[in-house]
Structure 1
Amino acid sequence: MKLTVVGGGSTYTPELVDGFARLRDTLPVEELVLVDPAADRLELVGGLARRIFAKQGHGGRVVTTSDLDAAVDGADAVLLQLRVGGQAAREQDETWPLECGCVGQETTGAGGLAKALRTVPVVLDIAERVRRASPDAWIIDFTNPVGIVTRALLRDGHRAVGLCNVAIGLQRKFAALLGVAPADVHLDHVGLNHLTWETGVRLGGPGGEDVLPRLLAEHGDAVAADLRLPRPLLDRLGVVPSYYLRYYYAHDEVVDELRTKPSRAAEVAEMERRLLEMYGDPALDEKPALLAKRGGAYYSEAAVDLAAALLGGAGSPHQVVNTYNRGTLPFLPDDAVIEVPAAVSGEGAAPLPVPAVDPLYAGPMANVTAYEDLALDAALRGGRDRVFRALLAHPLVGQYAYAERLTDRLIAHNREHLAWA
């Protein structure tokens, strides 16, 4: 089996490689190809990847290259984890929205739109080259904003599934709080990427006992602390929102916080510098502890599980993924990309039935789906008016004066990445 990672020079990659090494019985990778245009980073990451495989007795071959076409030729699956513009662009995404009084974040709001505009054309070009070289390959998208990017891929007819680590992270936290194995916890996870709620926590499978009320009663303080939301709010909702919902439920509070501390991009850039120094140490043959602070926890387990199921292996039959709605949530279009539990097989991902969704959550989902429609249109066709319309539609922007100012700043800060600007 040949697996290709586009963006293989990312400091995330050793997390992924560690998963491939540990879970080789689930996903027997014979050739792992890391492709990245940044040759210096790629060699550091590739060297550590080979040492991790060797230490754990994995017989697979690790190949590094900057040649995308060669990298995807004959691949069974291609994982996308790229960041167009690097951390410098992320720093901008997190900064200029604050000048207008809006949340500065790289996956949602105005910053998320900027990332989508930079990313979608690049991803579609990569996907077309994958289709020419390996038409049966599955594309697993971990590139943010996952919902919009996955929708672009599916709209163009690619064999693609989107992946996020929010659900697996919550599954692991809940399992620890409940004192059970993670495999025994099934989430009633519903929403869009980075706009999700856990409406049930079931033991033993999709139809198992819902222990969410007990979880909140016994461990609500710990859950609320992780989310940085008030415990009384969780008690009133009776569900567990994704930590991204804090941008919506406490918008002004978050803006005030972000204005008074270094950006996350600056923190990550310093962390990446330190990680790359570590990766260059020939004695290092495991992922360093610092990598856990980089983000992407449990990404490797989720990616292995998904790839294995798509390729007919030992992956779990039910996984939380991003895929077409197809009537699952009747208040959204069929071609909306939703993030829900799905039956995953060699045929792709088919969403499992979802109980009726409370209007308190269905409303934001419909609103953000409309924004994603407009965002994808802006990413594919460009133009200031399309950018403005997408910003005006986003619930974290919403006001025309904000949308006007944000549009000007977005274009000014991203001109080099926008062919139409």
Structure 2
Amino acid sequence: MRLTLLGGGGFRVPLVHSALLRDTHDRRIDELVLHDVTADRLAAIERILAQQAAGHDAPPRVSTTTDLDAALEGADFVFSAIRVGGLEGRTADERVALDLGVLGQETTGPGGIAYGLRTIPVSLDIAHRVRRQAPAAWVINFTNPAGMITQAMQTVLGDRVVGICDSPLGLGRRAAHALGLPAEQVHFGYSGLNHLGWLQRLEHRGEDVLQQLLQRPELLTFEEGQLFGADWLQSIGAIPNEYLFYYYFTRDAVAAIKGSAETRGEYLLRSQVEFYAQVAAAPERAYDLWTAARRARDETYMAEARADDEERDAEDVAGGGYEGVALALMAAIARGERASMLLNVRGRGALPGLPDDAVVEVPCTVDAGGPRPLAAVPLTGHPLGLVQQVKAVEELTIKAALEGDESLALQAFSLHPLVDSVTTAKTLLAGYRARIPTLDRVFGG
């Protein structure tokens, strides 16, 4: 089977390759095509993968190309992991907002809207090319903001586009581990949107044990307990996705980010430039250099949400990520191996209170026919209101990008719960247009 990875010169590509190397099934990916717009980065990643594959029997054949149509031709699966505007765009997403005292973050708040506006047109072009070059392919979307981009691509490819994220699965696993339960024996009653969901049930042998966890000191031993604090989690009776930190503790997050020497995007941009330069200077050490750089990136993830003396949980760093989710999804579809997964799909009524065609993040059953959402634990109270508001913002952003309509984009910024006035929204939109050429071009700039 042939897998095409868009954004193939990206830093996280070796994680996907590593997951493919661990797959020993007869029906597995035997050809990996990497596509990127930057030939130098493709060459660096190709070198890393070659070293990573050393000692493995029958690793997938790897090829690279900057020709998108050629990359897509005949693909069985397409991974979309692109970053329109590069990390330079991400630093602008963060800084334009922070300069106004507003949260500056890649997927949450105004930064996520800016990222979506410039990414949607490119993702739609990819979707049209997939329909032409590989009409039977399944598209697995890693590109952020994952829910928004998945919903936009589905306007062209329908249910053959599936969004994935490792964050809700990681939350469920950590909660199960805190209770001493094997994750594979626990059903995660999680529902919401990408980066905006809550674990409301934790079912083991037919019993909901989440409330036991909320009342026990073990709550503080894992990532979300440390992020939100036991008193707040006990108050709301659920465990939020880690990205809810930006909503529940907005002032704290803004202050922490502004108080840092650099934003996450600035750190990644600096470390990425250093990394690719190191690989170019010492190609024989490419894989070792990547391993060291990856460890540093993982350990500093969401550092603004932790105390200065608080380190990220070691098991959380070592536990793998979205590449494992992607491999499980492909296996279920390609081999008919029935699986239960948390995915971003059209809700079709699975999450009451949202349109049927809205992409939501809920438990799904997956087999050769693809994912099917299961009835999710309903959201009520403030979680439902927040999800409805953010989904309305996502849909405005998609429409603004499709139509090149600046007034719709202004509405999206203005109505986001993390933007406090229309005046601020106008300044945000003007600032993003001035700093990010790919976004400005959406509106004819």
- TM normalised by structure 2 equals 0.88
- 1:227-242 matches, within 5 Å, as 228-242=227-241
Q: Is the 8 A contact 1:161 1:321 kept in 2?
A: yes
Q: Which residue of 2 is the match for residue 294 of structure 1?
A: 297
Task: Decide whether the 8 Å contact of 2:6 with 2:82 is kept in 1.
Answer: yes
Mapped contact 1:27–1:313 kept (Cα < 8 A): no
- Identify if the C-alpha distance between structure 1 residues 60 and 356 changes in structure 2 by more than 3 Å, giving closer, same or farther: closer
The Cα of 1:299 is off from its aligned counterpart by 1.5
**1:309 aligned to 2:311?**
no
Q: What is the aligned partner in structure 1 of residue 175 from structure 2?
A: 174
Q: Could you tell me how far apart the structure 1 residues matched to 2:28 and 2:401 are?
A: 37
Partner of 1:129: 129
Count, aligned residues: 417
2:304 alignment partner in structure 1: none
Amino acid at match of 1:288: T
Deviation digits for residues 216-264 of structure 1 (CA, Å, limit 9, x no counterpart): 3242212466652222101111211011111111112211222111100
Mapping of residues 108-187 of structure 1, within 5 Å: 108-158=108-158, 159-187=160-188
C-alpha RMSD of the superposition: 2.1
Quote the offset at 1:113 in angstroms: 0.7
Choose from 212, 216, 229 the match for 1:214. 212
Q: Is the 8 A contact 2:178 2:219 kept in 1?
A: no
Matches within 5 A, 1:302-341: 302-314=325-337, 317-341=339-363
| Aligned residues of 2:97 and 2:110 also touching (Cα < 8 A) | yes
Answer yes or no: is the 8 Å Cα contact 1:188–1:198 preserved in 2.
yes
User: What are the residue-to-residue correspondences of 1:345-364 with 2, within 5 Å?
Assistant: 345-364=367-386
Q: Give structure 2 stretches of 5+ with no counterpart.
A: 302-319
Contact 1:391/1:398 (<8 A) preserved: no
Question: Which residue is 1:271 aligned to?
Answer: 271
How far apart in 2 are the matches of 1:345 and 1:379? 33
Equivalent residues of 1:21, 1:53 under 8 A apart: yes
Matched, 1:282 2:287: no
2:15 aligns with 15
Render the CA deviation track for 1:123-155: whole Å, top value 9, x for unaligned. Answer: 111121111111000000000001110111112
Question: Hey, what's the Cα distance between the residues in 2 that align with 1:186 and 1:23?
Answer: 25
Shift of 1:202: 2.4
Q: Which string of whole-angstrom CA distances, capped at 9 and with x for unpartnered residues, describes residues 391-411 of structure 1?
A: 111111142121121121122
Structure 2 letter corresponding to 1:70: A
Larger relative contact order (CA 8 Å, sep ≥ 6): 1
Per the TM alignment, residue 274 of structure 1 is displaced from its structure 2 partner at its CA by 4.7
Q: Does 1:344 align with 2:366?
A: yes
CA distance in 1, matches of 2:88, 2:426: 24
Give the CA deviation at 1:285.
5.2
Write the distance in 2 (CA, Å) between the matches of 1:285 and 1:383: 45
Aligned match of 1:256: 255
The Cα of 1:100 is off from its aligned counterpart by 1.8
Identity value in percent: 36
CA contact (8 A) 1:116 1:375 kept: yes
Provide the C-alpha distance between the structure 1 equivalents of 2:101 and 2:27, rounded to a whole number of angstroms.
46
Deviations 1:340-359 (A, max 9, x none): 01111232221111233222
1:109 positional shift? 1.2
Whether contact under 8 Å (1:4, 1:78) holds in the other structure is: yes
1:366 and 1:188 map into 2 onto residues whose CA distance is 19
Contact 1:8 1:34 in 2 (8 A): yes
Query: Could you tell me the TM-score, scaled by structure 1's length?
Result: 0.93
Letter paired with 1:336: A
Contact 2:127 2:156 in 1 (8 A): no
Unmatched tracts of structure 1, length 5 or more:
none
